Amino acid sequence: MLKSLKRQNHKLSSPEGQIEVLDDAESINIPSFEDKMADIGFSQFKPTGIEIFQVNVGKMCNQVCAHCHVDAGPDRKEIMTKETMQQCLDAIEGTDIKIVDLTGGAPEMNPHFRWFVEELRAIGKDVIVRCNLTIILANPKYNDLPEFFKKHKVNVVSSLPYFTAKRTDAQRGDGVFDKSIKALQMLNAVGYGKEGTDLKLDLVYNPAGAFLPGDQETLTAQFKRKLLEYDIEFNDLFAITNLPVSRFLEYLVKTEKYEDYMHELVNAFNPAAAAGVMCRNTLSVSWDGYLYDCDFNQMLELKVNAPSHISEFDLKALSNREIILNQHCYGCTAGAGSSCGGATT
Amino acid sequence: MKETYYNKEDLKKFGEITEWQKELGDKFFDYYNSVFKEGALTAREKSLIALAVSHAVQCPYCIDAYTTDLLKKGVDEEQMMEAVHVTAAIKGGAALVHGVQMMNQVNDKLM
């Protein structure tokens, strides 16, 4: 299995190393993202409100995906403590924030994961879990996850970059496709993704290389048709663009595709997508309780322009903060736009 | 840089052909963009046809452009290769069907 960039002591494992590459817009002859946004009237970019509270409960994962922006893997030990989870619960209880989106790593590997889900449901929050599918089969202790998700009506969102083993395994590791198919069948078996149930199973598609995702609707139709060959059903498919952060940035640099990819993102800049990016309605919390505009800013350690730890949660200040922009943001504004919920236009 | 007749970077300059003949260039690109819109054929089907034709006319720019376009559209390797086999079948068939002309000529010349 691959090692994380951090374990390799790779230059691009550090936020500073990544920002150094991203900030050098001049040598690849692209405009700064901030200037581009100012050109369309967003000289100050602010949230429209906070609707989604995304919590990264840790970087530990049973997979080492080639494109992972978290640089997650079995060798990552950063895990959110129960105390920080309690601070999250205290911060959002009684607020209008309705959705809590749990991500990682493999969030289920956090020993307090199930407790956290139960507590979130108890205070009336809708819960999304970004499940990598293979975790369900990784150890017998995870085999009942479909039942657990069902019991708490968790919205399961799972990555499946393609409907063939070749492309999926190239991105997510050998054997991942077959295990993912099995896990999807297990989720279907308890009612997930099935018509007539309120158990929502969504898939995430992201390109298995340095190109933008195509039309989300067309891809959904193809995935539905192809996965039916395995008797698999799902609800929606979210087409997500790979952002030049962490391992995907390292891939772009290593294969000398970085410049072309950035140009492709810039050329596909879509003002309508820019207006609807996820940082306008999302707040991202890191494993150690710091607050960010999105999961990508979190990986680059660009903390919010407001009191920036969950222990000093200030909803009013956060709702009026100025969002921090950088060159990687071109990934969310290209084409039909990209967010954790797929296309934004 | 090694000089070649085809340069990958030139594809990005395709739009520049309008600089020397704007009216015709604009008409061409308007037409081109209309052709590839969703219609009686899907945009995906049109891109697969374009890939096959790109191989028939052996245009490296078109092959790169439509391969990338098809990747974006979620088309898999097997489907793309089948499209190229359609090209090969038609090009090969077009050569072979002229064998009938050869046969006709032989039959005409020989006693």
pLDDT at residue B1, rounded to an integer: 59
Q: Over the stretch A291-302, which tens digit does the pLDDT of each residue have?
A: 999 999 999 999
Q: Where are the domains of chain B?
A: 16-109
Q: What percent of chain A has pLDDT over 90?
A: 95
For A130, phi and psi rounded to 5 degrees? -90, 95
User: Is the pLDDT assigned to residue A101 strictly greater than 90?
Assistant: yes
Q: How many CB atoms lie within 10 A of CB A236?
A: 15
Please report the ipTM that was assigned to this predicted complex. Answer: 0.73
Binned at pLDDT 50, 70 and 90, residue A341 comes out as confident
Q: Which of A80, A84, A201 is nearest to A136 (CA)?
A: A201
- Angle ∠(A304,A54,A160) on CA atoms, nearest 5: 125
Rounded CA-CA distance A173/A241 in Å is 20
Rounded CA-CA distance A206/A307 in Å is 33
pLDDT at residue A134, rounded to an integer: 97
Most B-contacting residue of A163, A222, A227 (CB-CB within 10 A), to test interface = A222
B64 vs chain A: nearest CA distance in angstroms? 12
pLDDT at residue B111, rounded to an integer: 86
Q: Where are the domains of chain A?
A: 11-331
pLDDT at residue A175, rounded to an integer: 94
pLDDT at residue A345, rounded to an integer: 86
Q: Given the structure tokens 């598609």, which residue do they identify?
A: A205
CB contact under 8 Å between A218 and B44, yes or no, is: yes
- Inter-CA distances, A241 with A82, A170, A215, A226, Å: 32, 17, 12, 22
Q: What Rg do the C-alpha atoms of chain B give, in angstroms?
A: 19
pLDDT at residue A73, rounded to an integer: 97
Binned at pLDDT 50, 70 and 90, residue A65 comes out as very high
User: How confident is the model over A100-111, as a mean pLDDT?
Assistant: 98
Rounded CA-CA distance A41/A327 in Å is 18
Continuous segment of H or E residues that includes residue A205: strand A201-205
Instruction: Write the DSSP symbol of residue A328.
Output: G
Q: Over the stretch B6-17, which tens digit does the pLDDT of each residue have?
A: 998 899 999 999
The DSSP-derived string for B83-109 is HHHHHHHHHHHHHHHHHHHHHHHHHHH
**What CATH number is given for A11-331 in this structure?**
3.20.20
Residue numbers of B between 68 and 87 with CB closer than 8 Å to A: 68, 71-74, 76-77
Instruction: Write the DSSP symbol of residue B110.
Output: -
pLDDT at residue A109, rounded to an integer: 98
**B17 neighbors B26 (Cβ within 8 angstroms):** no
CB contact under 8 Å between B74 and A211, yes or no, is: no
Pairing of strands A155-159, A201-205: parallel
pLDDT at residue B3, rounded to an integer: 83
Binned at pLDDT 50, 70 and 90, residue A342 comes out as confident
Q: What percent of chain B has pLDDT over 70?
A: 99
Query: Nearest residue of B to residue A168 by CA position?
Result: B76
Q: Given the structure tokens 């940082």, which residue do they identify?
A: A279
Q: How is the beta sheet containing A291-292 ordered, strand by strand? A: A237-239, A201-205, A155-159, A126-131, A99-103, A52-56, A282-285, A291-292
Say yes or no: domain B16-109 is CATH 1.20.1290.10.
yes
pLDDT at residue A107, rounded to an integer: 98
B95 vs chain A: nearest CA distance in angstroms? 36
Out of B68, B71, B74, the one facing A218 most closely (by C-beta) is B74
Query: Nearest residue of B to residue A264 by CA position?
Result: B12
User: Is the pLDDT assigned to residue A111 strictly greater than 90?
Assistant: yes
Rounded CA-CA distance A332/A64 in Å is 23
Rounded CA-CA distance B1/A345 in Å is 41
A167 vs chain B: nearest CA distance in angstroms? 9
User: How confident is the model over A137-159, as a mean pLDDT?
Assistant: 97
Q: Over the stretch A261-276, which tens digit does the pLDDT of each residue have?
A: 999 999 999 999 999 9
User: Is the pLDDT assigned to residue B2 strictly greater than 80?
Assistant: no
Rounded CA-CA distance B10/B18 in Å is 14
Q: Over the stretch B18-68, which tens digit does the pLDDT of each residue have?
A: 999 999 999 999 999 999 999 999 999 999 999 999 999 999 999 999 999
Binned at pLDDT 50, 70 and 90, residue A187 comes out as very high
